[in-house]
Amino acid sequence: MFSFELIAQSIESRARAGVIRTSHGVVETPVFMPVGTRGSVKSVSPEELLAAGARIILGNTYHLYLRPGCDVISRFAGLHQFMHWDGPILTDSGGFQVFSLAKLAKISEEGVTFQSHLDGSSHLLTPGKVIDIQNCLGADIIMCLDDCIQYPATREESLAALEITTKWAQRCKQAWQETKNGRNALFGIVQGGMFRDLRERSAEELMKIDFPGYAVGGLSVGEPAEVMLEMADDTLPNLPETKPRYIMGVGTPENLIELVALGTDMFDCVLPTRNARNGQVFTQQGTLNICNAKYRHDTGPLEPDCACYTCQNYSRAYLRHLYMAKELLAYRLNTLHNVYFFLNLMRQVREAIVQDEFDRFRKQFYKRKSTKRRSSHEKKS
């Protein structure tokens, strides 16, 4: 069971609001998906994620395949029961991690051979195997194996990766249809490096194969934000309007706003969770680092008017103390705030789209940030 319905379309931009229906529940789009790499969104519980507004989370096939392994997760009714998360789950194909984490990745039409970053053991991921693993994990949305190239890449490299991505996508579609259980949806992934025409060609080839949804991969890999937005701007209109569009691994609150304006429905990124563990906290007026000595006596919350558990119950002084003392609770409280910030931003974005006020919301978003910058500057001068 999977469907996507468009609810509203902004007049001033390509921003849109929709609803994804899965067998584990409904997801309103645009949506941000917190990342639970190894079967846990680091430091927080499923109940806390739900309370923060999370409706769908991401799991990483590469990590879960290597540890604990499908033999373990198959004892449970998939990842949902294993990790005690009842809502929708999207799993990636593992391709990105193979190319970024594993050693000696070797690519052929058959698939990709790599050595585990954990114990050096050798593995072969084929399109068919990637579908099998994701079926075992029981995710609601699963992804095709794709060839993720580094940035910068030449036109030749980008073309070669595109071509193999298309071939793998065909075989993934076939494997998915053969093992179809009616409970998950398979998304294709657009590649093509930073070349407009290659991105266009990749999108066309994937649409011919026909998927329930489309992702744009290979962005936010080191290129300037303008190039990333340009690629998205070119690629997104080529994808079918009636299907969800997912930009993988992006990004900052600004990136999210701009990509929504270009018609993106789904996002995932480790930014809110990873940065929280490094003491960086997101607020409407920009980021703050909780280590900063100026918060030592600060009895106020991370962000005034924030409704998250952390801001409702703890001060900056306490959070700074926990962080300086390396207390485990520090990572959790910072994470809860950051995750809430991202989820709440997307809720506001969606509401603005539905009310046809997205453009105004976007302007206000940047105004709040520039107010902060001006006032910080004034203090210094």
Query: Residue 25 — φ and ψ, nearest 5°?
Result: 130, 180
Site for its own copies in 142-181 (CB under 8 A): none
CB 277 within 8 A of CB 42: yes
CA nearest neighbour of 369 among 253, 276, 270, 227:
253
Query: Do 298 and 281 contact (CB within 8 A), yes or no?
Result: no
Residue 132 near residue 126 (C-beta atoms within 8 A): no
Contacting its own copies (CB under 8 A), which of 299, 304, 377, 378? 299
- Token pair, residue 122, equals 């050798």
Query: What ranges in 117-217 are assigned the alpha helix state H?
Result: 127-137, 155-178, 196-209
Does residue number 331 form part of the binding site for its own copies (CB under 8 A)? yes
> Which residue in 1, 50, 84, 355 binds its own copies (CB under 8 A)?
84
Identify whether 197 is a catalytic site residue.
Answer: no
CA–CA gap between residue 144 and residue 136 (Å, rounded) = 15
Query: Binding string to its own copies for residues 23 to 62, with x set by CB under 8 A, is what?
Result: ---------------xxx-xxxx-----------------
Residue 76 vs 366, nearer CB to its own copies: 76
- Residue number with CB closer to its own copies (48 or 147): 48
> SS3 of 207, please?
helix
Q: Please report how close the Cβ of residue 113 comes to its own copies at its closest, in angstroms.
A: 24
Please report how close the Cβ of residue 47 comes to its own copies at its closest, in angstroms. 9
Q: Which residue has the tokens 């290597």?
A: 66
**Residue 286 binds its own copies, judged by CB under 8 A:** no
Question: Tokens 């991969």 map to which residue?
Answer: 217
Give the active site residue among 86, 132, 268, 298. 268
* Minimum CB distance to its own copies smaller for 44 or for 141: 44
Q: Which stretch binds its own copies (CB under 8 A): 123-131, 294-302, 359-367, 369-377?
A: 294-302
Distance between CA 219 and CA 229 in Å, rounded? 9
Active-site positions read 92, 268
Q: Which residues bind its own copies (CB under 8 A)?
A: 38-40, 42-45, 67-68, 71-72, 75-76, 82-84, 296-297, 299, 313-315, 317-318, 320-322, 324-325, 327-329, 331-332
